[in-house]
Chains A and B, each alone.
Chain A
């Protein structure tokens, strides 16, 4: 029986009319052929033309292909076929792939392989020139922001609460012009801080981190390779995907703890948090979309896949890409967890020593109970130690309803001094929050 639920399948639909049409086609009477293999399902559906439409779905790495003229993706035939499979997989006969399915799957496999192979050699001289030009720009940008930060400190931060917006408006674009978008983003983070209760501490910390980043850049050659990569990433250099494919893979069973979706102007940032069953490593799969680009929802929170990921180089590897994945239909394992907040904190401090710019990372905690104290919503461990819930967390009442005052095993993301819960386990089920 398929592991995909109707809800998950319909979440792939591009719009309401496709959903309705797809549901209409989740009816065996509409299909002249329904077949399956371990890798794929396929079918032939009568259309308005002479020849039936041929629809196929790659179950291993979810993908759709149909001969209908629709520009929507997935089309109603793909949705209908998938829904029918989810409801009644026994209707699909086990068969060898016909040519039109085999050809498609082979092309997909070839495309995946090509991703891992190095591309054509580029013009090295031109590339070196570009790199050198960028380095020069970044150098200038770094010098500029160091000067601004020192000017700020000379006069003191007493007025920063009122002046932060102007500071950010002047400094961030300058950093973008210097091709240091990472620093621009760190500067932009300062805009929200003055409205918070402990603004002075947070502002100073953020300014310190920016300054230390510039220090690190100026002393790059003296630092370990992994730290150099981190600094370059924080400043805004991107590692190219084809370079990543040359790096070693990490294979494990990866549990998708949850997903955050942030929207900034026209940009959608999707954070998929993964946790490895065997090693206890965590990973962040970041996706970026602009405008009406189709959003990748193949990493479904609460599911687990067996696969290989590749980490971006870092002292504290977290961001990664998925190279290979195969969804696991049944899983009875348990993810390694911190027994309480004190143990978690000790781990955090060790990470901080290695990587001073440590921001968000996922974790699993045992025996956490939601609490309310002086109108604040908290998480309390078995020893009574507590941590604040992230301000962005909207699921407190669901969490409390699930808990009933009893401790739960919880997955979340550490953000500063707070935790953003992603999900909890109860009675063997994982609830995405």
Chain B
């Protein structure tokens, strides 16, 4: 037992049970210990004095523990061009602000310029990559060799070595797996489908729905067999409905054709004789059969679907209108989309089918019909029931010039919810806004501001489009409450500007 251990043992027992004579004192200290004992009023005082003396003695003779070697291999010294001080200051701010979309923008600039981040940022970015798959996709280029080396040290960072992301598919949570599948579908459409087919039977209904939606991108004829199987065998109505929609969307969809031919037997739409040639006055006749054929049922039309406000046979007609590619009606009737839509808007007894047409436009992503629908919205305003989802979807099909034209014509003022339509509209303007467009858009947003309307998160998504030149004019926006509310948006736009300036020529 060394001296300090004997001191500790004594302290545990206490002076009532142990004697100072039992302490194991080295020769060097015995004279000093004797002196302490002599000068102390009692055993307790003496013990504390001895304890202090022994501790100092032990400390002075203590040897430091040693390791034989590091238990990891050093990183190899690679020459990589790193970001400079200004860019580093921005990255430091981005990592503190938790603005992942702007961080992604920053990292994309690094990728474009072949730069890696400075070493001290690597751990935080590795942590980010664990949560955010988009950021993960650029980390290999931006963290460089040191990032790959550091990733070995934590389980959370093992994803870094996973070159094709399959580890995510095999072992991660649903939302990460769906993000992976979307990304993989984009780059490897067939392989993504194969992966999904392998695991399909073992997935729960919720996962099956999320994953089948990932096939939206790069939908092609090679998907048909799988989708048909899902349509006929899946137990989830939601999953089947999605498979049905995708089958209809396939280029030259055989299901759409078969459905069309079967539907013609049930539902007849004809221009009314004598009036068909007058462009503006379109009258159509819709004739329904008494029962729904089995064939139509087989193609996904549900016999017992209950739609509010519709009779059974009208519900069948509704489903047919919602499924058939709108262009088929266009060709069949030799009429323009606007004429057909206008008819359904104008006729009270047929207006009930309008949402079905809008659904068909959305499912088939028919831009010509989407444009026609938007024009009808502008003409008929609240009378044209274009819901938020379809409004957003149709706008998403438009080009920048078209959107700017709609903005000039104030399309967002024609609906029921001016504020929400305005926001939906601007969220779909996914192009770099000109300064003039930015001014007008921000002025409109400020114009509808009420403290209980937008919150800062709603507008934040616009940060990628706002023109940097507007930053200097931001403080002029009224009311002041709107300025306060858009602080987060302002900060994000300003950061983007600073990033642009840090990586490129100064942006005016």
Contacts and interface: CB of A to CB of B under 8 A. Distances in A.
Interface of A: 5-7, 16-17, 20-21, 23-24, 27, 149-150, 153-158, 200-201, 204-205, 207-209, 211-212, 215, 341-342, 345, 348-349, 352-353, 356, 369, 371-373, 378, 380, 383-387, 397-398, 400-402, 404-406, 426, 431
B13 A158 contact: yes
A141 B504 CA distance: 68
Interface stretch (B72-80, B189-197, B390-398, B440-448): B72-80
A156 to B, nearest CB: 3
B499 to A, nearest CB: 14
Given A7-B93, A405-B75, A397 B42 contact: no
B59 A352 contact: yes
Contacts of B309: none
B399 interface: no
A158 B13 CA distance: 7
Nearest to A146: B45
Interface string B487-508: 1001100100000000000000
A209 B52 contact: yes
Nearest to B40: A215
B8 A7 contact: no
6 A-B pairs with least C-beta separation = A156-B14, A405-B74, A397-B123, A404-B75, A150-B44, A385-B64
Contact of A384 (B67, B71, B77, B154): B67
> Which of A156, A371, A372, A380 is the most central at the interface, judged by chain B CB atoms within 10 Å of its CB?
A156
Interface in B35-74: 42, 44-45, 47-49, 51-52, 55-56, 59-60, 62, 64-74
A373 B178 CA distance: 38
Contacts of A153: 11, 14-15, 44, 47-48
A189 to B, nearest CB: 16
B64 A386 contact: yes
Contacts of B491: 20
Contacts of A406: 74-75
A398 B56 CA distance: 35
Number of contact residues on B: which range applies? 35 or more
Contacts of A397: 122-123, 150, 153-154
A264 B4 CA distance: 33
A154 B44 contact: yes
A154 B42 CA distance: 11
> Which of A20, A349, A380, A406 is the most central at the interface, judged by chain B CB atoms within 10 Å of its CB?
A20
Given A154-B44, A356-B52, A401-B119, A7 B70 contact: no
A387 B44 CA distance: 34
B89 interface: yes
B45 A204 contact: no
B120 A155 contact: no
B93 A208 contact: no
A352 B47 contact: no
B16 interface: yes
A385 B487 contact: no
Interface in B466-501: 472, 474-475, 484, 487, 490-491, 494
B92 interface: yes
Given A215-B45, A385-B66, A404-B74, 17 more contacts: A5-B89, A20-B487, A20-B491, A24-B475, A149-B44, A149-B48, A208-B51, A208-B52, A342-B64, A345-B62, A349-B59, A371-B67, A378-B67, A386-B64, A401-B150, A405-B73, A431-B120
B146 interface: yes
A371 B70 contact: yes
Nearest to A7: B89
Given A208-B52, A401-B120, A401-B146, A20 B490 contact: yes
Contact of A204 (B11, B15, B62, B474): B11
Contacts of A5: 89
